[in-house]
Amino acid sequence: MKGKVVWITGASSGIGEALAYTFARKGAKLVLSARREAELMRVKNNCKMNQEDVFILPLDIEKPETFATLFQRVIARFGTLDILVNNAGISQRSLVKDTPLAVDKRLMDVNYIGTVALTKTVLPTLLAKQNGQIVVVTSAVGKFGSPWRSGYSASKHALHGFFDAMRAELYNDNIKVLLVCPGFVRTNVSINALNEKGEALKQMDDATAKGLAPDDVARHIVKAIENGKEEIVIGGLKEKFGVWMKRHFPSVFSVMIRKMAVR
């Protein structure tokens, strides 16, 4: 990782912040993006590395029309890009029957359209140099649907379809694609999750509060990047068991998931 240019979205907190520190320890050059510039500056200061090697670039993932200009600033600063980590996203806690289509659309715009748009923005540069990696932080519910997260699950499933296809297309161009499927992680994901009104839930889930530490998740992600993995599931026994059951015993899993306390 030493000297590689890594662009991380959603870098102001949670997994994205932990990734910034992990890449910093590896000697990478960082582009840190999120909406909150003050929080990005805090993360930059905590990276404890040459400040010239950390570039703060505020970005709103719902505004893809700005991506080309922002990417030009990355190239102007570092001259290239080696790894894009698509980590920005938003979760959901509401039932299908109570959730208007506008909430589903926003979840798709943030989690899917924004991620695809930013990837397409940087792709010509990676193709030109015939080298690079695209990392996409999806979710364990990108592998199975979960109550209270219908739109969120849908957006994460969409990422798997798109990036699995892209990986196959770009194999001969030496561009790697890693899909990361975390389970419960101790972040603000449930606090910021959209409810049926499209507003922040402002409540910590018990399962999220008891989840993995973001630093542990970040270390697993960076190791997977270094090893050229295509997909990893990071979580506790419950999440990994759920993915396994959905794949091998879907009818049994269907009974399990409707009985589980997932909110």
pLDDT in tens, 46-97: 998 998 999 999 999 999 999 999 999 999 999 999 999 999 999 999 999 9
Question: What pLDDT shows up at residue 115?
Answer: 98
Ordered structural domains, the chain, with CATH: 5-236 (3.40.50.720)
Question: What pLDDT shows up at residue 22?
Answer: 97
Nearest to 240 by CA among 184, 188, 189: 184
Question: What pLDDT shows up at residue 120?
Answer: 98
Please, what is the end-to-end C-alpha distance for the chain in angstroms? 38
Residue 128: how many other CB atoms lie within 10 Å: 11
Number of separate helices (H) and strands (E) present in the chain: 10, 7
Provide the percentage of residues in the chain whose pLDDT is more than 90.
89
Question: What pLDDT shows up at residue 157?
Answer: 98
152 in catalytic set: yes
Instruction: Give this prediction's pTM.
Output: 0.95
Q: Report the greatest alpha carbon distance in the chain.
A: 54
Instruction: Give the torsion sign (CA, 119, 212, 107, 35).
Output: negative
Query: Which is the catalytic residue, given 21, 112, 152, 171?
Result: 152
Which run of H or E residues covers position 232? strand 231-234
Q: Which residues of the chain have pLDDT under 50?
A: none
Question: What pLDDT shows up at residue 259?
Answer: 82
Question: What pLDDT shows up at residue 149?
Answer: 95
